[in-house]
Amino acid sequence: MHVVYKAADPLEAAIVRDLLREAGLSAECLDEMAWGAQGELPANLFPRVAVRWQQEVARARELIRDYEHSPRQSDWRCRSCGETVDGSMGLCWKCGAQPPGEGSA
C-alpha cells in the first residue's frame, strides 16, 4: 500500500477514499478505527488513505490536490423547513428538499 493522504479525521479520509475510488483507483482507509482511541494513543496517529499500486500514486495525488484546492460551497437555508444545510450537501438532511435554484420551485 502507498499512502497518499493523511486526513484530519475518519470522515475526511472516507471522502478522499471515495473520490479516488470513483476515479477507478484502489483506495483504502488506514488507521480510521484508531481515531476512537485518541487520548490513549500517540496524538500523531491520523487516518490515512492509501492506494494499492505504485502506478496509481501520481493520479491519486493529482485528484487530492484538486480536492484540496476546490472552492468550498457555501451553506444554504432550506426553503421547505428552514434548516441550515452544509454547502457540500445536495439535499436538505432534514427534509430532503433540493437547494435553492435547483429543481422546480
Higher pLDDT, 32 or 1: 1
| Residue 2: all three cell numbers together | 502507498
| Residue 78: all three cell numbers together | 432550506
Task: Write down the CATH number for the domain with range 2-69.
Answer: 3.30.70.1530
Higher pLDDT, 60 or 85: 60
Position 43 scores a pLDDT of 58
- Collapsing DSSP to helix, strand or coil, 78 comes out as coil
Stretch 7-26: mean pLDDT, rounded? 92
Q: How confident is the model at residue 105 (pLDDT cuts 50, 70, 90)?
A: very low
Rounded to whole angstroms, the Cα distance separating 2 from 27 reads 9
Q: Looking up cell 435547483, which residue turns up?
A: 102
Cα angle: 95, vertex 100, 105; to 5 degrees = 85
Rounded to whole angstroms, the Cα distance separating 51 from 25 reads 7
CB 63 within 8 A of CB 24: no
Position 21 scores a pLDDT of 96
Q: In 1-105, which ranges are E strands?
A: 2-6, 27-30, 48-51, 76-77, 84-85
Closest by alpha carbon to 34, among 5, 7, 69, 10? 10
